[in-house]
Amino acid sequence: MGAQWKAKGKALVADAKGKLFGKLVKEITVAARLGGGDPGSNSRLRMAIEAARKASMPKDTLDRAIKKGSGAGADAVNYSSVLFEGYGPQRVPVMVECLTDNPNRTAPNMRVCFRKGQLTAVAWDFDHVGMIEGEAEGGADVEMAAIEAGAQDFEAGEEEGVTLFITDTTDLDTVAKALPAQGIKVLSAKLGYKAKNPVSMGSLSAEAQEEVQTFLAGLENDDDVQHVFVGLVD
């Protein structure tokens, strides 16, 4: 599908859960800093909290992250969002969202990650959209749900039985709230980048595919990387 290509075996690495918690903590912290610590009036924070709960994050860890962002805790921290773009191996376009407390550390790390690619402008080859992952329940019609909820489009997600609903950036929260009434269980919702002209993975040799996977795994394993959006299709 090309929205977010997951490096193979990522879910099996020993520290996968720790890395996931780290990314979720950063997202919660930034959401609280930008929109306040009340999830009722902060849709980004509300979605981040839901993602943390689905990942079984301990409540005290979640609460500390909110306090960090809202400045209520002694360990308040300020993360900044930095976007890197470029080509990976085989001219695969990539958008990398980082959340970091030290951009002077993150930039050199990204240059190392892209040593077999090129850091250059590729945003022109992506649409900035809302992305909602959902599961149909009770025989719900996905197409009708998308229409009724106000999504722009939908497609098969990366996991079996999961649908990716595409929205305008300004409609993300509205559509996410409307989908459950249409029989869709919302699993995640975020702003992201959808490639206009993705590279076909199947067109690459086995060696080239491995090179791309290694590159993407390197990005995903960087602690400052929050989301990786890749122009790839099966």
Find the mean pLDDT for residues 30-36. Answer: 83
140 and 53 in a common domain: no
213 and 116 in a common domain: yes
Which residues are 82's β-sheet partners?
98
pLDDT digits (tens, 9 = 90+) for 83-132: 999 999 999 999 999 988 899 999 999 999 999 899 999 999 999 999 99
Domain of residue 212: give its range.
Answer: 80-124+197-233
15 and 117 in a common domain: no
Q: Residue 2 domain-assigned?
A: no
pLDDT digits (tens, 9 = 90+) for 52-62: 888 888 899 88
60 and 16 in a common domain: yes
99 and 50 in a common domain: no
Q: What's the confidence (pLDDT) of residue 11? A: 46
Q: What's the confidence (pLDDT) of residue 209? A: 94
131 and 89 in a common domain: no
Q: What is the pTM of this model?
A: 0.82
226 and 187 in a common domain: no
Q: What's the confidence (pLDDT) of residue 126? A: 97
202 and 117 in a common domain: yes
**DSSP state, 6?**
P
> Between these two residues, 36 and 70, which has the higher pLDDT value?
36
- The pLDDT-based confidence of 77 (bands split at 50, 70, 90) is low
What whole-number distance in Å separates Cα of residue 229 and Cα of residue 231?
7
Q: What's the confidence (pLDDT) of residue 210? A: 95
What whole-number distance in Å separates Cα of residue 37 and Cα of residue 68?
10
Which residue, of 47, 70, 93, is where some domain finishes? 70
Q: Where do the DSSP E strands lie in the chain?
A: 80-87, 93-100, 118-119, 126-136, 153-156, 162-167, 184-195, 199-200, 225-230, 232-233
Number of structural domains (the chain) is: 3
